[in-house]
Structure 1
């Protein structure tokens, strides 16, 4: 699960990774490092979008 605090995830409250003010070149993040950490969280299933459960049979079929 994500380490981001809910108050930091709100729009306009700064970097969603560390909470520092956003930098124009990396909006909504403060730096390239925070952008990269966020991408790694998505790639490693650290961030997830809620949805209905998936049957193992459907997952294995690749459809």
Structure 2
């Protein structure tokens, strides 16, 4: 019995990509799409939101357990 291979959409162009070891650039469909995405991060088009904390705010030790 063979399992169906999951497919995902390339984050850059939307092409269907098979999620398997043979798909070298997954989740991207190609090296080109991978490099376009990397360029977007390098140009700061994409950003991960962060919450700025004041330097003198107290740190809750339980947060890091």
The answer to which structure has the higher helix fraction is 1
Same fold (TM over 0.5): yes
Unaligned 5+ residue runs, structure 2? Answer: 1-6, 54-65
Unaligned 5+ residue runs, structure 1? Answer: 1-11, 55-63
Say what the alpha-carbon RMSD is for the aligned residues: 1.9
Q: How does 1:32-51 map to 2 (within 5 A)?
A: 32-51=31-50
The answer to which structure has the higher strand fraction is 2
Q: TM-score, normalised by structure 1?
A: 0.59
Runs of 4+ in 1 over 3 A off after TM superposition: none
Mapped contact 2:8–2:27 kept (Cα < 8 A): no
Which of 1 and 2 has higher RCO (CA within 8 Å, sep 6+)? Answer: 1
